[in-house]
Chains A and B, each alone.
Chain A
Amino acid sequence: MQATIDVNGLRKRFGPTVALDGMSFSVKPGQVTGFVGPNGAGKSTTMRVILGLDAVEEGSALIGGRPYRSLRHPLRHVGALLDAAALQPSRSARNHLLWLAHSQGLTAGRVDEVIEQAGLRQAARRKAGGFSLGMRQRLGIAAALLGDPPVIILDEPFNGLDPDGIVWMRELLAELAGQGRAVLVSSHLMSELQDVAGHVVVVGRGRVIADTGVAELLATVSGDRVTLRTTARQEAARVLEHAGAVVTAGADGRDALTVSGLTAEGVVTLLSRNTVPFSEVAAHRATLEEAYMELTRDAVEFRAAAGREAAR
């Protein structure tokens, strides 16, 4: 079975609210795909549709080319964590995994393996109702890994994790993708996915705004900038603009300039050659969060403009 998710033109309404408005994207094996958007953008609904829990009016969601509901042992194909709190509080963690295992024809031995993998050995026989949110996330991860599935779907897995837990989750995601699995991870915070996701699908209002590799996103949306401190601002600007850079006044102080279109090394070389004095040159790498803000700002402006048109 191919480790892929193909979402094609999903449309769904809840009463008058449009939840999914032509949602389409695909998730490839061997990398973490970030599924990012503000709350209410349709991320969780899309995931529920992929898992056959919610029906759609139009469109299809396929796992390795097949609809989820046609899978005989679905947890052996797709491991998912949608809501870590969705369990019977009086059942122990191990027994929760045990009934799941039995539903897939798996043995208790496999249950003990994932308990170990999720770091739950000490707590396995305690009632899951007494777990902290972080522990429940780990239990949810254990359940998702139970069937050793080629496709993993996690809804907001960083929620409720302490710093150790966040590091653990990031390493786990990288490891799962490294094993060739297709990993889809939703988040409303782009920063959580920095250095983890290889690909991002940015969504808003039930549709895809951007579907791109993280490297391309960073390069196209923002580009790198250099912050320069100098007492000879006019001279520095003249030299740098002559070399093709765009120079703007820096935000923080009278002697600061922001330069884009040149590397930090390029700025140092040019200024030195032209004997322009400077006290500091700092390279500023665009973050995924900035790229995301820029993308969604465009989307917001587009919507605002469209709204004005419609109101006219």
Chain B
Amino acid sequence: MRQQLHAEWTKLRTVTGTGRLLLGTVMLTLAVSAAAAAAVSCPPAGCDYDPAEISLFGVQLGQAVVAILAVLTISGEYGTGMIRTTLAAMPVRTTVLAAKAVVLTGLTLAAGTLAVLASVLAGRLILPGNGFTPAHGRPLLSLADGPMLRAAAGSVLYLVLIALLSLGIAAAVRDSAVAVGSVLGLLYLFPVVILMVSDQDWQRLLWRISPMNAGLAIQATTHLSSLPLSPWAGLGVLAVWAAAALLGGGLLLRLRDA
């Protein structure tokens, strides 16, 4: 698999789009996180906000850029017909998908870590000005704090799983536009539907299977007991989605004519 990895890495680093999308992930995540931190305020009487969720809010938009990058790594090849060159050079198709997944994981880990660290730093700088002060019983954000570290590291993993989910879906549907639409629909429609459903049991069920709602539970540091799933179990739901997408995509890639 070493040579397949080398080839896929060379492919990704030799198109300008990759760098731009990774930069876009970092910038968008940071900008939206900082804006969220600037928008909330905590009066001396106290507030209900989770500072970790607020400082990492940008992940909810940064994930869209990650999804686009992931989709393009395979759908872009279907668009140009280059997939046939790829599969002629590397005929073991599941290995090709695995190589793409590994390279994508590495890039998303790097960009995601940068984005999350920058967001946490922005939150640490901005939130105290909005009333999140030790005097109000709200300590400064710190990665030395166990739940905060889990929220930050978990957010990076969340972005990686979003990339893998998107890659799997793109391998299955092949067309870039359809793939991006499917991924974003899957991510953003669940929260909307949950808001529209009035029945509490249905709400909790939908929340539990929603890749974005369940996955982002990893960012929660307050009111953990009221969540339908624990943070790690929530991220596990997203991991199941990603694994299923990769498995399905890989199977279709193997069976279909190129």
Contacts and interface: CB of A to CB of B under 8 A. Distances in A.
Interface stretch (B80-88, B110-118, B132-140): B80-88
Interface stretch (A30-38, A49-57, A182-190): A49-57
B11 A80 contact: no
Contact of A103 (B17, B89, B257): B89
Contacts of A95: 10, 14
A86 B258 contact: no
Give the 6 A-B residue pairs with the shortest CB-CB distance, closest first.
A86-B81, A103-B7, A95-B14, A99-B10, A53-B258, A102-B6
A284 interface: no
B89 A75 contact: yes
Given A86-B80, A95-B10, A100-B7, A53 B88 contact: yes
Given A83-B81, A104-B3, 5 more contacts: A83-B84, A86-B80, A87-B85, A95-B14, A100-B89
A53 B89 contact: no
Contacts of B8: 99
Interface stretch (A66-74, A170-178, A285-293, A304-312): A66-74
Q: Which of A85, A88, A90 has the most CB of B within 10 A?
A: A88
Contacts of A85: 80-81
B87 A104 contact: no
A126 interface: no
A53 to B, nearest CB: 4
Interface in B243-257: 257
Contacts of B87: 52-53
Majority secondary structure of chain B interface residues (helix, strand, loop or mixed):
helix
B85 A143 contact: yes
A214 to B, nearest CB: 29
A99 B85 CA distance: 11
Interface string B1-25: 0011011111100111100000000
A32 to B, nearest CB: 21
Contact of B80 (A88, A92, A143): A88
- Taking each of B77, B89, B90, B257, which has the highest tally of chain A beta carbons within 10 Å of its own beta carbon? B89
B87 to A, nearest CB: 6
Given A53-B257, A95-B10, A103-B3, A74 B82 contact: no
Given A54-B257, A102-B7, A88 B15 contact: yes
B84 A86 contact: yes
A102 B3 contact: yes
A20 to B, nearest CB: 12
Contacts of B3: 102-105
Nearest to B6: A102
Nearest to A90: B15
A82 interface: yes
A86 B85 contact: yes
B258 A54 contact: yes
B256 to A, nearest CB: 8
B25 to A, nearest CB: 19
A interface majority secondary structure: loop
A48 interface: yes
Interface string B35-56: 0000000000000000000000
Nearest to B5: A102
28 contacts: A51-B88, A52-B87, A52-B88, A53-B258, A54-B258, A69-B92, A74-B90, A75-B88, A83-B84, A85-B81, A86-B80, A86-B82, A86-B85, A87-B80, A88-B11, A88-B15, A88-B76, A88-B80, A98-B10, A98-B14, A100-B85, A102-B3, A102-B6, A102-B10, A103-B7, A103-B89, A104-B3, A143-B85
B162 to A, nearest CB: 23
A85 B76 CA distance: 14
Contacts of B90: 74, 103
A104 B4 CA distance: 8
A82 B84 CA distance: 9
Contact of A52 (B9, B11, B77, B91): B91
A59 interface: no
A65 interface: no
Contacts of B81: 83, 85-86
B120 to A, nearest CB: 34
A74 B257 contact: no
A88 to B, nearest CB: 6
B93 to A, nearest CB: 9
Nearest to A55: B257
A91 interface: yes
Nearest to A82: B84
A51 B211 CA distance: 39
Nearest to B81: A86
Given A54-B257, A102-B7, A90 B17 contact: yes
A99 B7 contact: yes
Nearest to B99: A103
A250 interface: no
A89 interface: yes
A54 B7 CA distance: 22
B4 A103 contact: yes
